Structure 1
C-alpha cells in the first residue's frame, strides 16, 4: 500500500534527510515497510512523487511548488537521489505508490493530492462524482485514479480553486465536505464496503491531513505525526530522531509510517480525526463528527476491528491479527 510523508518547518530541510538518508526513510519504506503485513504485495514500487516549495521566493519562478514524479521504483531512481542531495525546502510532500486503482503512469503519480487508502467500488460512483465537478476543474484532471478525482472534488469545494492561498479553515471545511460527498455517493450507490480516506493537502502555508474510514467498527489506515525543534542523525547508519529543545514547534512531520525507530518521537492520530497545521506552526487535532465518528469516551472507539486496514497493509503491526486473516490488497 502507498506510503506518504509531509514535512513543514520554520527552516528548510535538505530532502535527503527525509527521502534517502534515514534508515527508515520513505524510500526504504517502499521496499521494507515495517508496518505492512500484506505479504502478497510487499513493496510500493508503482512510482513515486515529491513536491516541494522553494526556500526563497523568486518572482521569475513564481509561488507554485515543484513536482518530480516517476513510474520507476523510488529506490532505483538515481535522479531522485541526486535531487535530494541538492534541494532544500520548508514544505515537502512525498509519496510512494502501490497501485490498485488507475494505470501505472506519470499522470497517476502523486503528490497532486496525497491519498493513502481506497474509495471502494469507485467505478460505481465515478460518473456521478464527475457530474459534480465544474468544467475548469474537470478539464484539469489528467489521471484516472480515485485519488485524483477525490482531489478534483476537493477543489470544487473551495470558495475559489484558483486563489493563490487559503485559510486553514477553508481547507479544513473543503476536506470535510469532500469526505461527506464521497460518503453520500457511496450510500446512494448502496456500497457497503468502507472506504479508507487518509487525504493530505497543502497550499504552501497550511497543511490538512485526515485519518478516516467510513465505518463505525473498523480501524482506519495508520497516520502519525511528530514535532520538535530539530530532526537529525544521531548515529551512523541513518538513525535519526526528533529533538525538543523547548516548547517551540520548529518542525512538524506527518507520515503513514514513522521515519524513526524512536517511539517517543511519534504520536498516532486517532481514527476519524483531522490534523491541521496552521501557518504559525500550530498543530490541531479535530474530530470528523459524522455518523461514523465515535468519541474517545465511547468504549467502542477503543475496540475498532483491524482486519480491513491490516488486510490492505495499512496498519501498524502491533495492531494486526494473524496474517491468515488479511483480506485483499489495495493501493
Structure 2
C-alpha cells in the first residue's frame, strides 16, 4: 500500500528500475510510482530474488529493513539527481503477508506533515456491528470482542466513529506488528541531509544520523 507521491518521479524512475531485480521489474504493468515502490520493496525483501522467492515467508526484521531501505533509496536518488531542488515525498507505506505487518507515515521535510495514517487493534469489533437506522448510531453487536479476535487495522482515516479506537502514527515513524498481533512504534531513522527544504535537521529539530535498518 502507498498513499502519497514520490516527488519528481519521472526524473528518478530510470534510477529506480536500475536497482530492481529482473522479475520484480517485469511485474510492473503500469506507470505509477506505487508500482515502482512495490517492485523496489520486493527486490530488497528478497535480496534480488526471482519470482519463486516471492512465495517465501520473511521475518519481520527483513520486512522492516526492506521498507526503510526503499524509503531511503528514493531520497538518495532524488538528492543525487536533483540536489537542493529535491522536493519532499509523501511515503505512507504498508506491507503485510497476512500474519505480520510493517507500515510507515513519512515525509522528508522539517515542518510539513505526511498524510494521516492510523492504526487500531480493537476497531474490528465496532466494524462488526449493525447500523440499524441506516448509517447513524452503531448498535447491536453481531460478535463479541472475543469472537472478533486479535487484529490490527491500518487505515488512512478512522473507519469507525469511536475516536478512542484509533491512534495516529507519528510523523516519520513505523508501526510494526508481529504474528501474535502485538504492535509497537519505532522512529524511522534516516540521514537528515536527505530532507527537502532544510537538510541536516529532522522534524524534531535534532541533527540526525545515517539510516539504521
| TM-score (norm. length: structure 1) | 0.51
- Whose helix fraction is larger, Structure 1's or Structure 2's? 2
Contact 1:249 1:281 in 2 (8 A): no
Task: Name 1:276's counterpart in structure 2.
Answer: 176
Cα offset, 1:215, TM superposition: 1.2
- Over the residues paired in the alignment, what is the CA RMSD in angstroms? 2.7
Q: Whole-Å Cα distance in 2 between the matches of residues 244 and 170 of structure 1?
A: 35
Moved more, 155-164 or 173-182: 155-164
1:205 maps to: 99
Q: Deviations over 1:100-153 (max 9, x none)?
A: xxxxxxxxxxxxxx1100001100000111111121211121111000001111
Unaligned runs of 5+ in 2: 196-200, 207-213
The equivalent of 1:128 in structure 2 is 15
**What is the Cα deviation at residue 245 of structure 1?**
5.7
2:156 corresponds in structure 1 to 256
CA distances 1:70-110 after superposition (whole Å, capped 9, x unpaired): xxxxxxxxxxxxxxxxxxxxxxxxxxxxxxxxxxxxxxxxx
After TM superposition, the structure 1 = structure 2 runs for residues 115-154 of structure 1, keeping only pairs within 5 Å, are: 115-154=2-41
Contact 2:5 2:33 in 1 (8 A): yes
Structure-2 separation of matches of 1:146 and 1:204: 24
* Cα pair distance change 1:119/1:163, threshold 3 Å: same
Aligned ranges 1:218-229 → 2 under 5 Å: 218-228=112-122
Give the structure with the higher percent strand: 1
| TM-fit CA distance, 1:244 | 9.4
How many residue pairs end up in the alignment? 184
Quote the residue 1:289 is aligned against: 189
- Alpha-carbon shift at residue 192 of structure 1 (Å): 2.2
CA deviation after TM superposition for structure 1 residue 294, in Å? 4.5
Normalized against structure 2, the TM-score is what? 0.77
CA distance in 2, matches of 1:124, 1:260: 39
Work out which of the residue numbers 30, 38, 44 in structure 2 matches 1:157: 44
Q: Which runs of 5+ in 1 are unaligned?
A: 1-113, 302-331
Structure 1 counterpart SS, 2:91: strand
Consecutive aligned runs of 4 or more in structure 1 exceeding 6 Å deviation: 241-244
Please say which of residues 236-245 and 122-131 is displaced more in the overlay: 236-245
Supply the distance in 1 between the matched residues of 2:19 and 2:170 (Cα, whole angstroms): 30
Counterparts of 2:159 and 2:98 in 1: how far apart (Å)?
22
Of residues 286-295 and 119-128 in structure 1, the stretch that sits farther from structure 2 once superposed is: 286-295
Q: Does residue 187 of the first structure (1) align with residue 79 of the second (2)? A: yes
Q: How does 1:1-331 map to 2 (within 5 A)?
A: 114-158=1-45, 159=47, 160=49, 161-190=53-82, 191-228=85-122, 230-231=125-126, 232-233=128-129, 235-236=131-132, 237-238=134-135, 239-240=137-138, 250-290=150-190, 291=192, 294=202, 298=204
